[in-house]
């Protein structure tokens, strides 16, 4: 029976094994036309960050988004990277050290247990939030920590709500190496964002398989 990754420990164990080559394997999806870095750029842009802002990244992994976030908040800002897996954070720590960034705080914690500092000017998660069974709790806590008028942005993948959805049994195995199961792909954080945030909107990419959802703190 294939692993369904329904527990945090299962996800943690998988990403421990993938940590050292995560960046390389993630880039392999470019072979299928999946423009991951472009989607990350769009997601960070949707945060509408300013120099001096504090942003929390849920599921920061190896810190792939840190250069993009640094460009927005600058050295006077702060990046708080939260991840469940020690090995992924170790890779992120190496990146931070190599770049000489002094404004990055790394926190090992389950996203649902993380205590957000208040206030923050942005909350971001890319290809990670739907791996958290209690993702609604994360959205609720993040929304409460956000400064009024600032953005919570989720970049993730889903089973497309079009004819491609019929091919989900074929598509899911392609992303199973990153702990994505049919159950995970069917989670809909954007519907939960409507409960805790205002002006929510969603943009689709890659034939509706990838999306960026954004909500503003009221």
Query: What distance in Å separates the CA atoms of residue 209 and residue 161, rounded to the nearest whole number?
Result: 8
- As beta bridge partners, residue 156 has 211
Of 4-8, 36-40, 99-103, the one with minimum mean pLDDT is 4-8
pLDDT digits (tens, 9 = 90+) for 159-185: 877 756 555 555 555 555 444 566 777
User: What is the pTM assigned to this prediction?
Assistant: 0.83
4-13, 28-37, 110-119: which has the highest mean pLDDT?
110-119
Going by the DSSP 8-state scheme, the letter that residue 19 receives in this structure is G
Q: What is the CATH number of the domain that holds 95?
A: 3.40.50.150
Report CA torsion sign: 64, 84, 199, 149: negative
Please report, for residues 32, 80, 128, 140, 203, the alpha-carbon distance to residue 115 in angstroms, rounded to integers and kept in the order given: 38, 11, 17, 11, 29
Domain count, the chain: 1
What per-residue confidence (pLDDT) applies to 187?
A: 85
Angle separating helix axes 66-73 and 36-47, nearest 10 degrees: 30
Q: CA 137, 127, 158, 25 torsion: positive or negative?
A: negative
Which segment of 33-42, 65-74, 101-110, 175-184 scores lowest on mean pLDDT?
Answer: 175-184
In a domain, 1, yes or no: no
120 located within any domain:
yes
How does the average pLDDT of the chain come out, rounded?
Answer: 85
Is 96 inside a domain boundary? yes
Give residue 137's domain range: 8-216
The answer as to whether 13 is a domain residue is: yes
- Helix or strand run (H / E) with residue 147: strand 146-157
In this structure, how many other beta carbons lie within 10 angstroms of the beta carbon of residue 137?
16
**200 assigned to some structural domain:** yes
Q: Which is more confidently placed, 33 or 141?
A: 141
């Amino acid at each position: 029976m294939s692993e369904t990754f329904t527990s945090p420990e299962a996800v943690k164990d998988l990403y421990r094994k993938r940590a050292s080559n995560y960046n390389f394997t993630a880039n392999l999806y470019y072979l299928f036309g999946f423009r991951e870095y472009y989607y990350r750029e769009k997601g960070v842009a949707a945060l509408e960050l300013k120099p001096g802002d504090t942003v929390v990244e849920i599921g920061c992994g190896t810190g792939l988004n840190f250069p993009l976030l640094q460009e927005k908040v600058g050295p006077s800002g702060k990046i708080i990277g939260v991840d469940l897996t020690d090995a992924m954070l170790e890779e992120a720590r190496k990146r931070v050290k190599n770049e000489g960034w002094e404004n990055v705080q790394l926190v090992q914690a389950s996203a649902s247990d993380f205590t957000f500092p208040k206030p923050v000017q942005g909350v971001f998660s890319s290809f990670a939030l739907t791996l958290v069974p209690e993702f609604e709790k994360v959205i609720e806590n993040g929304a409460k920590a956000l400064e009024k008028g600032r953005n919570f942005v989720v970049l993730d993948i889903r089973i497309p709500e079009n004819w491609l959805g019929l091919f989900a049994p074929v598509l899911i195995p392609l992303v199973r190496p990153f702990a994505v199961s049919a159950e995970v792909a069917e989670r809909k954080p954007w519907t939960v964002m409507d409960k805790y945030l205002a002006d929510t909107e969603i943009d689709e990419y890659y034939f509706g398989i990838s999306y960026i959802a954004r909500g503003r703190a009221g």
